[in-house]
């Protein structure tokens, strides 16, 4: 594991060096992105459905301000951004994951942002703004959308079996076993599964899925220190207990079909059992609500807050997207105008509604209520989870190598059922310490 980390760290370092080299001359003529001073080149990490929603939002912005938007929806965002940075010309504005802020900032890709310079900045609360603060205390992003995991359950199956919505981990397992063994779809066959689990290490999926259970057990992957750095925390008793429970409950269990076949190698792109109609639960993000409405019908499933873990809390992973300004582009006034529109009630509402996939889940603008805007009370569950029971990965540092190393370790633990969890997590802790040391954050 350590050798893999060193190899990946070296590759990442070379990539970062290439980006730094490219950005060092970025915008040397005082401009970046589109050469037209009245046009902003905007990149979004979006699929075709989401891109149509962005197009609607940008069209409204252009109509209001006269500033045109050259929108480029990008799926392989980071790979294409690296290629673009190497040409010494970044997009004017980027909308992408909040968890990437530290990585982008460390590579010199982002402008600093003064929140007070963005019109409407006071309609975003201090907690949300705090997630855009870098290691140096400056802001490097503008919050655009936030979300928190919730538990999707086949309501029709649960009611047929006469079981309540789960409030604890024990309830969760009871329901998963019933969905797997008690023929909830009534076809006379044991062909249904309890829980959908994206357990692959690829792109860190298993760490992403497991994080909520770690939070609910009172564990953290890393913790801030009083000296301004971080320390690895996956050797704690809380982490050992949580990972042991995950291993024995979902991966190394004699209970057949509590997870879908191939869970240990599944990614979200192929973990489709819930929408396919043969799995009963999925702990995932709220962006799936509209997709599941179409595939299953909204009367078939419910959205509930995650059950409480051993620490007595129901904390889940929170995520989101930020608006970033490309470093050294020369259109600051236009970029700020776009950001102000995107966080305004009008911009946020447009991004939450319509015929295509929404690109704002929980609005960052606190004058809006997600459930009222969508006329859908299920979003109250998501909004409440985000505001009262959620934890984000640290955004200020380069989180990617820590997430990937955590995923590699968890996937290995869940694959080899005879292995010792505590010793494996001690090894992971040493690896995470190396990741933090690489970023000069092991303090």
| DSSP track, 113-171 | B-GGGSTTGGGB-HHHHHTTB-TTS-B--EEEEEEE-EEEEEHHHHHHHT-PPP-BHHH
Quick one: pLDDT band at residue 126, thresholds 50, 70, 90? very high
Task: Inform me whether the pLDDT recorded for 82 exceeds 70.
Answer: yes
If one counts the domains in the chain, the total is 2
Same domain? For 415 and 266 the reply is: yes
Same domain? For 326 and 377 the reply is: yes
Structural domain span for residue 135: 39-148+319-392
Same domain? For 260 and 274 the reply is: yes
Query: Per the domain annotation, does 33 fall within a domain?
Result: no
**Residues in CB range of 10: below 8 A, 6 or more apart:** none
Same domain? For 109 and 78 the reply is: yes
Task: Inform me whether the pLDDT recorded for 187 exceeds 80.
Answer: yes
Query: Which residues on neighbouring strands pair with residue 94, listed in sequence order?
Result: 43, 324
Q: How far apart are CA 174 and CA 258, in angstroms?
A: 10
Task: Inform me whether the pLDDT recorded for 28 exceeds 80.
Answer: no
Task: Inform me whether the pLDDT recorded for 103 exceeds 60.
Answer: yes
**Residues in CB range of 89: below 8 A, 6 or more apart:** 26, 27, 32, 33
Task: Inform me whether the pLDDT recorded for 30 exceeds 50.
Answer: no
Task: Inform me whether the pLDDT recorded for 75 exceeds 90.
Answer: no
Average pLDDT over residues 322-331: 90
Same domain? For 307 and 165 the reply is: yes
Query: Which residues on neighbouring strands pair with residue 362, listed in sequence order?
Result: 146
Q: How far apart are CA 145 and CA 150, in angstroms?
A: 16
Q: How far apart are CA 362 and CA 380, in angstroms?
A: 10
pLDDT value of position 87: 83
Q: How far apart are CA 392 and CA 316, in angstroms?
A: 8
pLDDT value of position 172: 98
pLDDT value of position 330: 83
- Among 320-329, 371-380, 401-410, the least confident range: 320-329
Query: Per the domain annotation, does 377 fall within a domain?
Result: yes
User: What percentage of the chain exceeds 70 in pLDDT?
Assistant: 92
Same domain? For 225 and 324 the reply is: no
pLDDT mean across residues, the chain? 92
pLDDT value of position 34: 65
Query: Per the domain annotation, does 306 fall within a domain?
Result: yes
- Among 24-28, 97-101, 181-185, the least confident range: 24-28
Give 305's DSSP letter.
Answer: P
pLDDT value of position 78: 86
Query: Per the domain annotation, does 12 fall within a domain?
Result: no
Task: Inform me whether the pLDDT recorded for 9 exceeds 50.
Answer: no
Same domain? For 331 and 402 the reply is: no
pLDDT value of position 196: 98
pLDDT value of position 4: 47
The helix/strand count (H/E) of the chain reads as 17, 13
Average pLDDT over residues 390-398: 94
CATH of the domain at 350: 3.40.190.10
- Among 5-14, 211-220, 433-442, the least confident range: 5-14
pLDDT value of position 384: 96
Query: Per the domain annotation, does 30 fall within a domain?
Result: no
Average pLDDT over residues 356-366: 95
Same domain? For 303 and 430 the reply is: yes
Same domain? For 218 and 305 the reply is: yes
Same domain? For 43 and 141 the reply is: yes
Give 259's DSSP letter.
Answer: B
Query: Per the domain annotation, does 356 fall within a domain?
Result: yes
Q: How far apart are CA 399 and CA 99, in angstroms?
A: 7
Average pLDDT over residues 144-149: 97
Same domain? For 119 and 229 the reply is: no
- Among 12-21, 149-158, 350-359, the least confident range: 12-21
User: What percentage of the chain exceeds 90 in pLDDT?
Assistant: 86
Query: Per the domain annotation, does 243 fall within a domain?
Result: yes
Task: Inform me whether the pLDDT recorded for 179 exceeds 70.
Answer: yes
pLDDT value of position 36: 78
Same domain? For 324 and 230 the reply is: no
CB 151 within 8 A of CB 280: no
Query: Per the domain annotation, does 428 fall within a domain?
Result: yes
Quick one: pLDDT band at residue 76, thresholds 50, 70, 90? confident
């Amino acid at each position: 594991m350590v050798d893999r980390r060193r190899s990946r760290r070296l590759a990442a370092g070379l990539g970062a060096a290439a980006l730094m080299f490219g950005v060092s001359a970025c915008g040397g003529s005082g401009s970046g992105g589109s050469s037209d001073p009245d046009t902003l080149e905007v990149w979004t990490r979006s699929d075709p459905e989401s891109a149509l929603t962005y197009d609607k939002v940008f069209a409204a912005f252009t109509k209001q301000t006269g500033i045109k938007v050259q929108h480029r929806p990008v799926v392989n965002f980071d790979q294409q951004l690296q290629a673009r940075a190497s040409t010494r010309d970044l997009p004017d504005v980027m909308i992408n994951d909040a968890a990437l802020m530290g990585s982008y900032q460390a590579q010199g890709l982002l402008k600093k942002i003064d929140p007070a310079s963005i019109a409407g900045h006071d309609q975003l609360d201090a907690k949300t703004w705090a997630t855009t603060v870098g290691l140096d205390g400056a802001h490097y992003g503008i919050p655009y959308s936030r979300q928190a995991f919730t538990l999707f359950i086949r309501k029709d199956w649960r009611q047929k079996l006469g079981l309540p919505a789960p409030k604890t981990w024990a309830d969760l397992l009871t329901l998963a076993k019933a969905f797997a063994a008690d023929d909830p779809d009534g076809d006379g066959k044991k062909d249904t599964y309890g829980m959908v689990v994206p357990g692959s290490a690829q792109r860190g999926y298993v760490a992403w899925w497991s994080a909520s259970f770690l939070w609910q057990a009172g564990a953290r992957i890393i913790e801030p220190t009083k000296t301004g750095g971080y320390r690895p925390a996956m050797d704690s008793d809380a982490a050992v207990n949580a990972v042991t429970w995950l291993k024995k409950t979902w991966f190394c269990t004699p209970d057949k079909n509590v997870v879908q076949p191939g869970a240990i190698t599944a990614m979200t792109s192929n973990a489709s059992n819930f929408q396919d109609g043969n799995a009963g639960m999925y702990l995932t993000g709220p962006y799936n609500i509209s997709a599941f409405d179409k595939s299953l019908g909204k009367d078939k499933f419910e959205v509930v807050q995650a059950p409480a873990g051993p620490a007595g809390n129901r904390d889940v992973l929170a995520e989101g997207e930020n608006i970033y300004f490309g470093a050294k582009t020369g259109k600051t006034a236009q970029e700020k105008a776009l950001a102000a529109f995107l966080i305004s009630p009008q911009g946020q509402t447009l991004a939450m509604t319509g015929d295509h996939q929404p690109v704002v889940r929980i609005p960052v603008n606190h004058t809006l209520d997600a459930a009222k805007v969508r006329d859908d009370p299920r979003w109250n569950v998501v909004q409440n989870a985000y505001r009262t029971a959620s934890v984000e990965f640290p955004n200020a540092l380069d989180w990617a190598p820590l997430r990937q190393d955590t995923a590699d370790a968890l996937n290995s633990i869940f694959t080899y059922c005879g292995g010792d969890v505590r010793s494996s997590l001690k090894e992971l802790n040493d690896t995470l310490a190396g990741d933090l040391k690489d970023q000069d954050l092991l303090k």
